[in-house]
């Protein structure tokens, strides 16, 4: 199948592209390189540098390459930033997604995978969080993804648009060639590994007074290759109907456990210091992913936190300066 991947130069998108190509799919990457890296794009993918806010450019990609499916990763993705600059999210994320959807419909493409988020569940009534949980977006970021999910729901009804919304919990780890390289970096695992590499002095723990087993936040870390597999399975199932899945391992680890595991993996002491809470962080987020296991036979291969951190560490050791090295 020919697949258009927006944001295919970014962390998650680039690994999904790699896995699609390994599965013999044909891939066109559309990315503005705002966060992404040209070197992260698999050499067998067609790369187009462009912005989703440019409707003519988006239409031209559909007209020229005639994709049969779209995977949409290109997005601003930081909860904290969205609380400071909501229009980047409620504006750009939504408008860019809308441009893409309009072009897809216009060019008769009816298969779409949306990268969505656990930030739809700011106030969960049950843990783990399954797809029956009520939606309470935690920030303009989560809201922007929810708006796109709602658009997809209507397009399905009106145009038979088949979509999957995949709500990731904490994507982590690396493939051999591709890993996490954000500037600046906000995510706990790469930050901890930068301390081990000597690029930072210490890691700040954002709050140790949460109602969790050691007072630090609990998150469900999911390996990027397992996430990629979920995209491929969802794509193949689309013709049987639209679907929404929560994606995680169903197991939570505290920030302190992440740091301790990274100490074991790297052999580095990784100094840590407790700081104030980061605004907007819920205490615990654990995914209930039985639905995708049941429906699609999805089975994570790297469910163990140690393996996830080891893969990220291997990538950081081979790319100490990220993609610039
Ligand atoms: N975190 C931390 N120090 C850091 C970065 C993150 O203590 O320098 C914590 C953060 O408060 C959250 C967890 O690590 O509880 C995971 O944060 P991350 O930004 O990696 O992912 P998020 O859960 O926000 O998607």
> Each residue of 257-299: pLDDT tens digit?
999 999 999 999 999 999 999 877 889 999 999 999 999 999 9
Average pLDDT over residues 151-162: 98
Burial class (CB in 10 A: 0-12, 13-18, 19+), 59: middle
Query: Among 89, 141, 146, 163, which one carries the catalytic annotation?
Result: 141
CA 15 to centroid of ligand 1, rounded, Å: 22
Residue 239 shares a structural domain with residue 184: no
Task: From the CA of 218, give the closest atom in ligand 1.
Answer: 15
> How far is 76 from 52, CA to CA, in rounded Å?
12
Residue 105 shares a structural domain with residue 191: no
CA 106 to centroid of ligand 1, rounded, Å: 40
H helix intervals, the chain: 11-22, 55-65, 79-84, 86-87, 94-106, 140-159, 188-196, 224-237, 255-266, 290-296, 305-318
Pocket of ligand 1 (CB under 6 A): 79, 170, 186-188, 191, 203-206, 217, 219, 255, 278, 281
Locate tokens 């780890």: which residue? 173
* pLDDT for the residue 254: 98
Q: What percent of the chain shows pLDDT beyond 90? A: 96
Report how far apart, in Å, the C-alpha atoms of 270 and of each of 3, 103, 325 are.
41, 48, 23
* pLDDT for the residue 278: 87
Please check the confidence at residue 225 and state whether its pLDDT lies above 70: yes
Q: 162 lies in which domain range?
A: 2-171+222-247
Please check the confidence at residue 142 and state whether its pLDDT lies above 90: yes
Residue 261 shares a structural domain with residue 229: no
Query: Binning pLDDT at 50, 70 and 90, where does residue 162 land?
Result: very high
CA 186 to centroid of ligand 1, rounded, Å: 7
Residue 58 shares a structural domain with residue 160: yes
User: Best of 200, 206, 215 to mutate for ligand 1, by most ligand atoms within 8 A of CB?
Assistant: 206
Please check the confidence at residue 325 and state whether its pLDDT lies above 60: no
CA 187 to centroid of ligand 1, rounded, Å: 6
* pLDDT for the residue 144: 98
* pLDDT for the residue 251: 95
* pLDDT for the residue 61: 98
* pLDDT for the residue 167: 98
* Domain count along the chain: 2
Choose among 64, 120, 74: nearest CA to 100.
74
Residue 184 shares a structural domain with residue 89: no
Query: Binning pLDDT at 50, 70 and 90, where does residue 33 land?
Result: very high
Query: Which of 247, 263, 298 is the endpoint of a domain?
Result: 247
Residue 206 in tokens? 């954002």
> How far is 314 from 106, CA to CA, in rounded Å?
44
Average pLDDT over residues 197-216: 97
Please check the confidence at residue 55 and state whether its pLDDT lies above 80: yes
**Kind plus residue range of the DSSP H or E element containing 251:** none
Average pLDDT over residues 226-234: 98
* pLDDT for the residue 29: 98
* pLDDT for the residue 40: 98
* pLDDT for the residue 279: 79
Task: From the CA of 119, give the closest atom in ligand 1.
Answer: 25
DSSP assignment of 135-173 equals PB-SSHHHHHHHHHHHHHHHHHHHH--EEEEEEESEEE-
* pLDDT for the residue 281: 85
CA 179 to centroid of ligand 1, rounded, Å: 17
* pLDDT for the residue 280: 77
Cis peptide before 128 (omega within 30 of 0): yes
Contact present, 55 and 27 (Cβ < 8 Å):
no
Residue 233 shares a structural domain with residue 291: no
Residue 238 shares a structural domain with residue 260: no
Q: 159: domain CATH number?
A: 3.40.50.720
Please check the confidence at residue 315 and state whether its pLDDT lies above 60: yes
Q: What percent of the chain shows pLDDT beyond 70? A: 100
Residue 137 shares a structural domain with residue 275: no
Residue 163 shares a structural domain with residue 289: no
* pLDDT for the residue 316: 96
> What integer best gives the mean pLDDT of the chain?
96
Residue 282 shares a structural domain with residue 240: no
Residue 143 shares a structural domain with residue 77: yes
Q: 292: domain CATH number?
A: 3.90.25.10
141 is catalytic: yes
Query: Binning pLDDT at 50, 70 and 90, where does residue 324 land?
Result: confident
Residues whose CB is less than 8 angstroms from the CB of residue 233 and which lie 6 or more positions away in sequence, other chains included: 292, 296, 297, 298
User: Best of 170, 188, 270 to mutate for ligand 1, by most ligand atoms within 8 A of CB?
Assistant: 188
Residue 227 shares a structural domain with residue 211: no
Average pLDDT over residues 228-255: 97
Please check the confidence at residue 164 and state whether its pLDDT lies above 70: yes
């Amino acid at each position: 199948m020919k697949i258009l991947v927006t944001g295919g130069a970014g962390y998650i998108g680039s690994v999904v592209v790699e896995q699609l190509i390994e599965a013999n799919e044909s891939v066109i990457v559309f990315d503005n390189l705002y966060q992404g890296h040209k070197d992260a794009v698999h050499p067998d993918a067609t790369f187009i540098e462009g912005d989703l806010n440019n409707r003519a450019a988006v239409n031209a990609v559909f007209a020229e390459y005639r994709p049969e499916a779209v995977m949409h990763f290109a997005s601003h993705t930081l909860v904290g930033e969205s609380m400071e600059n909501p229009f980047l999210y409620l504006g750009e994320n939504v408008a860019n997604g809308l441009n893409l959807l309009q072009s897809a419909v216009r060019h008769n493409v009816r298969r779409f995978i949306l990268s969505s988020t656990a930030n739809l569940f700011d106030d969960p009534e049950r843990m783990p969080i399954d797809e029956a949980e009520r939606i309470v977006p935690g920030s303009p970021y989560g809201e922007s993804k929810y708006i796109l999910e709602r658009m997809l729901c209507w397009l399905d009804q009106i145009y038979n648009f088949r979509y999957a919304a995949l709500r990731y919990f904490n994507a982590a780890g690396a493939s051999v060639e591709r890993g996490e390289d954000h500037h600046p970096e906000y995510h706990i695992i790469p930050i901890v590994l930068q301390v081990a590499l000597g690029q930072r002095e210490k890691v700040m723990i954002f709050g140790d007074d949460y109602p969790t087993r050691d007072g630090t936040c609990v998150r469900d870390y999911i390996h990027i290759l397992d996430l990629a597999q979920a995209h491929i399975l969802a794509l193949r199932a689309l013709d049987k109907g639209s679907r929404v899945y929560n994606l995680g391992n169903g197991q939570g680890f505290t920030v302190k456990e992440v740091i301790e595991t990274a100490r074991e993996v790297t052999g580095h002491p990784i100094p840590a210091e407790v700081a104030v809470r980061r605004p907007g962080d819920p205490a615990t987020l654990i995914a209930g992913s039985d639905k995708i296991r049941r429906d699609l036979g999805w089975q994570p291969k790297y469910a163990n936190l140690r393996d996830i951190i080891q893969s990220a560490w291997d990538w950081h050791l081979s790319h100490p300066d990220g993609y610039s090295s």
